[in-house]
Chains A and B, each alone.
Chain A
Amino acid sequence: GAGVSQSPSNKVTEKGKDVELRCDPISGHTALYWYRQSLGQGLEFLIYFQGNSAPDKSGLPSDRFSAERTGGSVSTLTIQRTQQEDSAVYLCASSPAEGISTDTQYFGPGTRLTVL
């Protein structure tokens, strides 16, 4: 079956430009997560959507970062006025969870963002 997909797989942009990264979760999954993985580092939590609840934005590093999830499915992570330190792999994950007891996350392949 179809897994989590992300697009584009690679994105090169110039400093100061805005970028949008897309995540298509597994159909029926209510939870969606965005993470950032810098070179050689672990995963840094960014934002979490659960059903119709207000998203948990506690991990967003600055107000240049925002995310939306339309219709409880597709999500877009937007980075405005990109900086070189934004260069990283951005991973999306979805989960069928209604709560943490079944919160096994399924990850997409990530988008590698390079800011020149």
Chain B
Amino acid sequence: AQTVTQSQPEMSVQEAETVTLSCTYDTSESDYYLFWYKQPPSRQMILVIRQEAYKQQNATENRFSVNFQKAAKSFSLKISDSQLGDAAMYFCAYRSINDMRFGAGTRLTVKP
């Protein structure tokens, strides 16, 4: 079974600064998708960004970007110009035709 590992249970960042959340995964499949989801205290999971494995270009959504290293099976999330509203749990997820896995999450705190 594929595994998704988020090695940072907690991270903190100063408002307006940049933070990077790590995610690694293990797979033998070639066709898959990777996601970062945000879960604020309201419990509502929100899609932040997605990356198709066949695309070499890193996905970007406004202040959120990823560093996708397919050979290293690494998929980190960079949040630029952090805002107080970015404080939440962040989950990395893997999806293929055969499997779907979520990491254990990273709790991000944003300090004013």
Contact = CB atoms under 8 A, between A and B. Distances in A.
Interface of A: 33, 35, 41-45, 48, 89, 91, 93, 99-101, 103-110, 112
Given A100-B96, A103-B33, A103-B95, A45 B101 contact: yes
A109 B43 contact: yes
Given A35-B102, A99-B97, 9 more contacts: A33-B100, A41-B104, A45-B100, A100-B31, A100-B95, A103-B95, A105-B45, A107-B44, A108-B44
Nearest to A6: B43
Contact of B43 (A44, A89, A93, A100): A89
Nearest to B46: A107
Interface of B: 6, 31-33, 35, 37, 42-47, 50, 52, 91, 93, 95-97, 100-105
A43 B47 CA distance: 14
Contacts of A48: 100
B47 A105 contact: yes
Given A42-B91, A42-B102, A104 B50 contact: yes
A103 to B, nearest CB: 6
Contacts of B95: 100, 103
A12 to B, nearest CB: 17
Greatest chain A CB density within 10 A among B43, B104, B105 is at B43
Nearest to B31: A100
Given A107-B46, A109-B44, A43 B102 contact: yes
A41 B32 CA distance: 23
A36 B95 CA distance: 17
Nearest to A95: B95
Contact of A110 (B6, B43, B96, B102): B43
Nearest to A45: B100
